[in-house]
Amino acid sequence: MTDTAATPSTDDLPPRLTRLVFHGPLSEARAAALVRRLADTRPGSVLDIGCGWGELMLRVLEAVPDARGLGLDVNAEDLARGRRNSAARDLADRVEFVEESAVGTRRGPADLVLCLGATQALTKAEPPTAEALRELRRLVTDGGRVLLGEGFWERTPTEPELARMWPGASADDHYDLATLLDLAVEAGFRPEWTETASPAEWEEFESAYQADTEVWLATHPDHPSAPETRDRLNRHRAQWLTYRGVLGLAYLTLVPVTG
């Protein structure tokens, strides 16, 4: 008799991120307000940097029927999800999902550039924020808009807190909100709208990020991959509960300065 438990199929593995609509702390209400504001500028082209499955881009395309979109990412699985979603919403003829790096990209300029939690996709600089903002100015047309989702410190983290965050975490990884806005201005933008993710948005995102795998682990405690999965989940949860209330996420709607 074959021992199927010894060689689990991929069907036995946990699903990936099915609870997430957006790959970040973004509520339906905020997303709807962002889409309305961005759609009012009537972009003809949308460029999504580090797009993942490009949910916000697809919503902009639904709101602006003559717009075309292009998403760049290096995660093939996320891009495939974006293509499936675009086909299901009859948008496949107006959007392209491309697996490639955005460092030095020549894909722009576009009327609307989205970069949500993905400044690291634009540059190899560390921290990436200042150089990424200069790249975003290059990639947006005069009169266009950039929607930047970027982390910032709500307060300066302590050394013990940094030690419990992601590997190699440093106070230099992010700026405070005021400095982030100053960097946007220095890069050639004026901030049209400034908003930040709420604690509820963070909690929904972080819970949904792990929920599929947590439920799977509860029902597969003896699976060969369970020990590694358990360690990963516990580690991520500890990191989140450490940066909870310390790390924020700003959504900045930026207007390029012309002339």
pLDDT of residue 15: 87
Q: Is residue 133 part of a domain?
A: yes
What gap in Å lies between CA 209 and CA 243, rounded to an integer?
Answer: 15
pLDDT of residue 13: 82
pLDDT of residue 12: 79
Domain count, the chain: 1
- What residues make up the domain containing 191? 28-155+166-197+246-256
Q: Determine whether 11 is exposed, middle or buried from the number of CB atoms within 10 Å of its CB (0-12, 13-18, 19+).
A: exposed
Q: Is residue 213 part of a domain?
A: no
Q: Is residue 174 part of a domain?
A: yes
Q: Is residue 33 part of a domain?
A: yes
Q: Is residue 57 part of a domain?
A: yes
Q: Is residue 229 part of a domain?
A: no
pLDDT of residue 14: 86
b/e map of 147-171 (b: 16 or more CB within 10 Å)?
bbbbbbbbeebeeebbeebeeebee
pLDDT of residue 40: 97
The CATH number of residue 136's host domain is: 3.40.50.150
Q: What is the pTM of this model?
A: 0.93
Calculate Rg over the CA atoms of the chain.
20
pLDDT of residue 146: 98
Q: Is residue 143 part of a domain?
A: yes
pLDDT in tens, the chain (259 residues): 333 334 445 567 888 899 999 999 999 999 999 999 999 999 999 999 999 999 999 999 999 999 999 999 999 999 999 999 999 999 999 999 999 999 999 999 999 999 999 999 999 999 999 999 999 999 999 999 999 999 999 999 999 999 999 999 999 999 999 999 999 999 999 999 999 999 999 999 999 999 999 999 999 999 999 999 999 999 999 999 999 999 999 999 999 999 7
Q: Is residue 50 part of a domain?
A: yes
In a 13 Å sphere around the CA of 196, the CA atoms on its Cβ side amount to: 16
pLDDT of residue 11: 61
The DSSP result for the chain, as a single string, is ---GGGS--GGGSPP-STT-SSSSS--HHHHHHHHHHHHTT--SEEEEET-TT-HHHHHHHHHSTT-EEEEEES-HHHHHHHHHHHHHTT-GGGEEEEES--TT--S--EEEEEEES-GGGT-S-SS-HHHHHHHHHHHEEEEEEEEEEEEEESSPPPHHHHHHSSTT--GGG---HHHHHHHHHHTTEEEEEEEE--HHHHHHHHHHHHHHHHHHHHH-TTSTTHHHHHHHHHHHHHHHHHHTTTEEEEEEEEEE---
